[in-house]
């Protein structure tokens, strides 16, 4: 019975939409802005925000490049390479 | 001494290893069946879509809304023979059965999907806003017609990006792909 349930789960699981993680999301954003990242997951993520609602995210790509992702209060996203 | 065959079979049947073996066989059978069914469905869809390219065309806009397409009803349509010509009445009936989806609904579905993260969604939003602004600026300079081809290729690139990002949400990806011409028309139509 357990085997049957496991097989059914294997069939059903791929049909569900998998949520992306923050690290994947930031890596995708960096690549969308045309910067090389060398992978789909970033590391060493640091988030900060100011009083005006602007957010800044610092992250390191698998290729060693460190990026700064700025999200303005009106939702504009810009990416800058730091090293 | 060897026990009689009937007793032997009964003892084998009660053996726990044989139970799990049977379940394993049933599970493998189910898995194979599902793989075969999925493969057949995919193959028939591909072959039918190549036979009837006209049926892949997205539905045009009506009264500001965007008609899109119920996948089940499309598949049902594709099952019909290619050479059968339907009367206009029955075609209208089929068209009426298709559920309508507006641009707003599509945007809401993009907002709601978990296949794309928040920052990626914001980046796409910025791209779409920039693209809309460039269309407006071309229109103001009366240069839209001249640059329509370039704008369309930019639009195709943007849509391709979105479809690539929606890899984990194939249903939404397919809906957007089917409605791509309607989305383009809704972007370029002049709003009074």
High-pLDDT (> 70) share of chain B, %: 45
For residue B78, the tally of other CB atoms under 10 A from its CB is: 17
pLDDT of res. B104? 76
pLDDT of res. B89? 58
pLDDT of res. A37? 95
Q: What is the pLDDT of residues B36-47, one digit of tens each?
A: 555 545 444 444
Contacts of B135 (CB under 8 A, 6+ apart): B144, B151, B187, B188
Distance between CA atoms of A74 and B186, rounded to whole angstroms?
24
Side-chain-side CA neighbours of B8 within 13 Å: the count stands at 5
Measured between CB atoms, which of B24, B27, B122 is closest to A75? Answer: B122
pLDDT at residue B8 greater than cutoff 90:
no
Pull the structure tokens for residue A74.
Answer: 């009106």
Distance between CA atoms of A67 and A81, rounded to whole angstroms?
4
Q: What is the DSSP letter of A62?
A: T
Tell me which chain B residues have a C-beta less than 8 angstroms from the C-beta of A7: 27-28, 30-31
Going by pLDDT thresholds of 50, 70 and 90, the confidence category of residue B53 is very low
pTM of the model: 0.59
- The answer, for A71 touching chain B at a CB cutoff of 8 Å, is yes
The SS3 assignment for A58 reads strand
Say if the Cβ atoms of A28 and B23 lie within 8 Å: no
Closest listed residue to residue B120, CA positions, set B182, B169, B62, B74 = B169
pLDDT at residue B152 greater than cutoff 50:
yes
pLDDT at residue A47 greater than cutoff 60:
yes
Distance between CA atoms of B85 and B79, rounded to whole angstroms?
14
Our CA-based measurement puts residue A1 at a distance from the nearest CA of chain B, in whole angstroms, of 6
Quick one: which H or E segment has residue B190?
none
Closest-CA residue of chain B to A10: B31
Going by pLDDT thresholds of 50, 70 and 90, the confidence category of residue B65 is very low
Say if the Cβ atoms of A75 and B125 lie within 8 Å: yes
Closest-CA residue of chain A to B121: A29
Say if the Cβ atoms of B114 and A18 lie within 8 Å: yes
pLDDT of res. B145? 85
pLDDT of res. B162? 92
């Amino acid at each position: 019975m357990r085997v049957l349930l496991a097989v059914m789960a294997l069939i059903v699981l791929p049909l569900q939409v998998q949520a992306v993680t923050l690290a994947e999301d930031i890596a995708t954003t960096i690549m969308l802005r045309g910067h090389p990242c060398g992978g789909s997951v970033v590391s060493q993520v640091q988030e900060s925000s100011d009083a005006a609602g602007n957010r800044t995210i610092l992250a390191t790509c698998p290729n060693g490049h460190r990026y700064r992702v700025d999200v303005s209060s009106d939702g504009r996203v810009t990416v800058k390479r730091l090293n | 001494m060897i026990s009689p065959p009937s007793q032997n079979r009964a003892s084998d049947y009660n053996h726990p290893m044989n139970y799990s073996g049977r379940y394993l066989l049933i599970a493998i059978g189910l898995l194979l069946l599902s793989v075969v069914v999925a493969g057949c469905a995919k193959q028939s869809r591909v072959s039918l879509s190549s036979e009837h390219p006209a049926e892949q065309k997205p539905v045009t806009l009506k009264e500001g809304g965007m008609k899109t397409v119920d996948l089940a009803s499309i598949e049902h349509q594709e099952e019909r023979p290619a050479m059968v010509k339907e009367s206009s009445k029955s075609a209208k009936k089929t068209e009426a059965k298709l559920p309508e989806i507006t641009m707003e609904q599509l945007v809401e579905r993009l907002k709601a999907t978990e296949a794309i993260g928040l920052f990626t969604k914001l980046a796409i939003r910025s791209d779409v806003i920039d693209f809309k602004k460039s269309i407006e600026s071309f229109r103001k300079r009366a240069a839209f017609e001249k640059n329509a081809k370039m704008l369309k290729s930019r639009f195709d690139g943007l849509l391709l990006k979105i479809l690539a990002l929606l890899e984990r949400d194939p249903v939404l990806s397919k809906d957007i792909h089917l409605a791509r011409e309607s989305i383009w028309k809704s972007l370029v139509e002049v709003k009074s």
